[in-house]
Amino acid sequence: MASTVEYGDVEYDDVESGSAENGSIAYDYVVVGGGTAGSVIASRLTENPDISVAVIEGGPSDVDRPDVLTLRRWMGLLGGDLDYDYPTTVQPRGNSHIRHSRARVLGGCSSHNTLIAFKPLPSDWDEWAAAGAEGWDAASMDPYFGRLRNNVVPVDELDRNAIARDFVDAAQAALGVPRVEGFNKKPFHEGTGFFDLAYHPENNKRSSASVAYLHPFLDRPNLHLLLETWAFRLELDGTRATGVRVRTADGAERLITARTEVLVCAGAVDTPRLLMHSGIGPRADLEALGIPVTHDLPGVGENLLDHPESVIVWETDGPIPENSAMDSDAGLFVRRDPEIEGPDLMFHFYQIPFTDNPERLGYERPEHGVSMTPNIPKPRSRGRLYLTSADPQTKPALDFRYFTDEDDYDGRTLVDGIKIARQVAASEPLAHWLKREVAPGPEVTSDEELSAYARSVAHTVYHPAGTCRMGAVDDEQAVVAPDLKIRGLEGIRIADASVFPTMPAVNPMIGVLMVGEKCAELLTGASGTRGADRTTGADKATGVDKTTGAAGAAGTSGTA
């Protein structure tokens, strides 16, 4: 009998479970990372009762964790004990104080973010195909959205704050953009409205990857969740990946062996980090740190992408109503260039004064306020992730190179964003709520001043991607081929945001879920040949979790 770790009413396997082979612990598939894509893949593979799957997750369960499962509490998770909290290197043209939140909990960043849920636009997928990701065009990818188990719905009427409603009306009046009800109903170029979220409005519970894909199936005997177990090195036999070296919470080291494949789903930071500590990456960089090179792959860690944003803050004329799904429920997309397919500016409307970065410059946080965050959907700057030590526990360096694109497109986009935000704020019915502009302040008007402010207070919406990008099989800078296999290796694939060749114009969580669904299909064959769907208490059509003993049972009170 395998020993177990208990969380609430649910028992999880520890690393002594599985079958022993040559002193290791063996499963058919080993999934590194129980996050957004990893949850999908593990769930889909274990639909076949003859396939055993181990999920290696560095954090604890989200079961019976209202601090995790209650969507509106997302900001309380930033920088906490469930956050890997990666710093950014010095940014000569941007904010050097940005910290990138990466979740250390079952469900990954879908247990940690705002769950804003956009299907990537057709132009996003077609851009991937044009970059060499054959089979990832919009027509090929669209069916995977329909397979998602998550409960993706527009912000509920009861969660629609009065000031957010007036923001939407003001944006429509000021800019002439269409009002959108359900951003996932059809592709859009621009528009304003309330977001779609992956949540359950009746109790503000997340419909994260873990809630939708793992919680209903925790009784599957072939699904093994190895929690608080940290993967620090891949095991290779020549060019074939055979398993993963892990460290458990008590400091013990084990080898977890994969009979069929290792699936790396650790995210855009920890996937390239794990590869490089396993000797897979740019030869010169690894040799400089004394890491033995097992496979020279120059693209690992390159092409670091993000959605940078700035912020403009207003003090409101008194408090605003309390109701909200997660305090940033509405937004705006603008297309300045009519020649492009999708939007080139995005705004989140925060029902709080979002002044963390402006305060460092001397701005004061008002007692009551709101914010707009102009965001760059298609940034042109490209960064790099690299190791600074051969010690796997040392955090990697994240150099996003914000605002370093040759034509300063990214910087100019934020300047335009602040100007457009001011247009919306000056329009009714939003204008009567606002007492004064706090940051940058109405006296800051020139493009040069606005650019300096926008870049110095720039932040992230926690969307790192691209560090193991997908491309054609003959693309030497691509880390994975269109089948998600690592170039030059066998028995290993990557499925997470690191494989993104380019950044989608929208929040990427749904895109990562769809990557997980496609990876599962690549592993098991066409959807019609999957094992029987052993659903036990989940409504497949809606993704609603109806189990008991799993996280977030009825009564749970109430970041992408």
Residues annotated catalytic, as ranges: 463
CA 401 to centroid of chain Cα atoms: 20
d(Cα 18, Cα 16) in Å, to the nearest integer?
Answer: 7
SS3 237: strand
Token reading at 133: 């990701």
- How would you class 511 by CB atoms within 10 Å of its CB: exposed for 0-12, middle for 13-18, buried for 19 or more? buried
Between helix 509-524 and helix 138-147 the angle, nearest 10°, is 90
How many helices (H) does the chain have, and how many strands (E)?
A: 12, 30
Q: What is the DSSP letter of 486?
A: B
User: In this structure, are residues 470 and 494 in contact, taking their beta carbons and an 8 Å threshold?
Assistant: no
Residue 520: C-alpha distances to residues 178, 514, 525 (Å): 37, 10, 8
d(Cα 233, Cα 273) in Å, to the nearest integer?
Answer: 9
- How would you class 251 by CB atoms within 10 Å of its CB: exposed for 0-12, middle for 13-18, buried for 19 or more? exposed
What residue type is assigned to position 270 of the chain? D
Token reading at 264: 């790396």
Give the angle 116-68-27 at the CA atoms, nearest 5°: 95
3-state SS record for 59-128: CCCCCCCHHHHEHHHHHHHCCCCCECCEECCCCCCCCCCCEECCECCCCHHHHCCCCECCCCCHHHHHHH
User: In this structure, are residues 504 and 121 in contact, taking their beta carbons and an 8 Å threshold?
Assistant: yes
How many CA within 13 A on the CB side of residue 255? 14
d(Cα 244, Cα 235) in Å, to the nearest integer?
Answer: 5
Which residues neighbour 59 within 8 Å (Cβ) at sequence distance 6 or greater?
34, 82, 103, 104, 105, 106, 227, 228
What residue type is assigned to position 60 of the chain? P
- Cα torsion 170, 176, 180, 184: sign: negative
Give the angle 367-368-373 at the CA atoms, nearest 5°: 115
What residue type is assigned to position 207 of the chain? S
Which residues neighbour 139 within 8 Å (Cβ) at sequence distance 6 or greater?
none
Q: What are phi and psi of 544, to 5 degrees?
A: -70, 130
Token reading at 512: 């990562």
Q: What is the DSSP letter of 234?
A: E
User: In this structure, are residues 71 and 197 in contact, taking their beta carbons and an 8 Å threshold?
Assistant: yes
3-state SS record for 18-42: CEEECCEEEEEEEEECCCHHHHHHH
User: Any alpha helices (H) in 490-559, and if so which ranges?
Assistant: 509-524
